[in-house]
Structure 1
Amino acid sequence: MENQQTLSGWWESARKVVSPNVDNRPDGEVSLLVIHAISLPPGEFSGTAIEALFTNQLAIDEHPFFASIAHLRVSAHLLIRRDGECVQFVDTDQRAWHAGRSCWWDARQAMWRRTLNDFSVGIELEGDDVTPFTKAQYLALARATRWLFSRYPQLDSGRITGHAHVAPLRKTDPGPAFDWAYFYRLLKE
């Protein structure tokens, strides 16, 4: 079992906020990137609610919506704020709890895969399905993705998906506001 101090998947460009919602990857594999979007309360940006959710410190009296989600034990590897600030909650060598019930067609292995948290990295963009993401967010996402590509040889541009694509009956993020073509163009720069 790896000791937390020997793990090296902390991105130096991100502010570190450690989430307790993490455990070891069963096989150590990282071969998928799942892009999410989150705003707390829904449709509102900035504030500390996302960090509070991912660290089990969400105060239910701060907004009526929070009472319905405060019991959740979730995390992501990275959060990219509207201004491009990156916050990292989980070492990418460990398993964050971001994808939930989901499945993904792994073309390389010619099979459907479940339990995506076991082998994926989750990046949350502060946003929602309808509000365009910021240029700063796309630039930060491209930088983070290139960093992940350099760390994990199995990960490449063909192994990136949205939460809605792996959990279509439950999730809609990052939604139609996410510009996939622009993101892929930035990855090539």
Structure 2
Amino acid sequence: MLKKIFTSLLFLTLLGCSSVNLSIDRDSYHAKGKNHRIKYIVLHYTAINDVRSIRALTRGNVSSHYLVTTDRKQPIYSLVPDNERAWHAGFSSFNGRENLNDTSIGIEIVNLGIRSDILKKYEKEKNFFIPQYAYIPYSQSQIEKVAFLVNQLKYKYNISPKDIVGHGDIAPQRKKDPGPFFPWEYLYRKYNIGAWYDYGDYRYFLSTDSYKSCSIEKIKSEFRKYGYDMNDTPEWDEESRRVVYAFQCHFRPEKTNGIMDAQTFAILKALNKKYSN
């Protein structure tokens, strides 16, 4: 023990007499080979009211970077600094990355999600594929706040359009939020937020009827190409249907049934033509 103390003191003494510059210069040089840690913006609904949402996101084992309440007079609450890791995404995957808590900013929007009476019915039937009418719409003030916030974040961190996603997009096996009433198309057209397909491309892929001649494996590869964590089984099993459902909630919300069809296929192809080449 005395020998270790003596060695440490000797090292410190020699260090004090050393001519080596031990300061850290943070100003002279800066590397170009770098980028932001933040790659995604993930939108959620809380499925509980304002008071319970604030309590859950500040006192519990879940968190988000921002919270938008239902009160139009309240500000957007910043709960976790952008450069810190919030616990909002859980097990997740999109566009080749996993565990998106590490690389995303989470925005929670207070919304009850699915009507409780309908939710109970579908849970009793063990049916994952809940139609749009069962969900609860967002208020206009909430959408304006989300648009304001996301526009700031996307420019600050150079987020690509297709990487502005919902929780359901990155965790389709267990999550449905922000649901089919979240106005992705409106945000795209009015605020240039997120990805959306060009209607002309959609009409082209729908009119060519290429869906009928395309194998299940090939269609599933189109989902993976866009970014979804889709399996490669030769059938539309429960797992793959949940991915289709998440896609429909985002891009074809008027008909969310988890069933692959020509319209869903045409939208997917149009998106890949625009964003995934």
- Give the shorter-chain TM-score range: 0.5 to 0.7
Which residue does the alignment assign to 2:45? 37
Contact 2:36 2:157 in 1 (8 A): no
Counterpart code for 1:132: P
Residue in 2 that maps onto 1:170:
174
Task: Give, in whole Å, the separation in 2 of the partners of 1:113 and 1:170.
Answer: 18
Distance in 2 (alpha carbons) for counterparts of 1:83 and 1:186? 22
Pairing of 1:14-163 with structure 2 (within 5 A): 29-40=37-48, 45-46=49-50, 48-56=51-59, 73-84=61-72, 85=74, 86-105=76-95, 112-127=96-111, 128-129=113-114, 130-153=135-158, 155-163=159-167
Counterpart of 2:97 in 1: which secondary structure? strand
Q: Report % sequence identity.
A: 33
Matched letter for residue 123 of structure 1: I
Is the CA contact 1:102–1:115 (under 8 Å) kept in the aligned structure 2?
yes
Letter in 1 for 2:38: V
Q: Which residue of 2 aligns with 1:64?
A: none
Instruction: Report if the CA contact (8 A) 1:139-1:186 is conserved.
Output: no
Q: TM-score, normalised by structure 1?
A: 0.67
2:151 partner letter: R
Query: 1:93 offset after TM fit, Å?
Result: 1.4
Q: Which residue of 2 aligns with 1:20?
A: none
Unpaired runs of 5+ residues, structure 1, are 1-26, 57-71, 106-111
Distance (whole Å) between structure 2 residues aligned to residue 91 and residue 184 of structure 1: 26
Q: Shift of residue 28 of structure 1?
A: 5.7
Is contact 1:83–1:134 with CA below 8 Å preserved after alignment?
no
Higher relative contact order (CA 8 A, sep 6+): 1
Could you tell me how far apart the structure 2 residues matched to 1:179 and 1:149 are? 18
- Return the index of the structure with the highest Cα Rg: 2
Gaps of 5+ in 2: 1-34, 115-134, 194-277
Output the aligned Cα RMSD: 1.8
Does the 8 Å contact 1:28/1:93 carry over to 2?
Answer: no
Runs of 4+ residues over 3 Å off in structure 1: none
C-alpha displacement of 1:164: 0.6
More helix as a share of residues: 2
CA distance in 2, matches of 1:177, 1:49: 22
Q: Deviations over 1:18-67 (max 9, x none)?
A: xxxxxxxxx96011011100132xxxx33x211111122xxxxxxxxxxx
TM-score with structure 2 setting the length: 0.46
Question: Is the CA contact 2:85–2:102 (under 8 Å) kept in the aligned structure 1?
Answer: yes
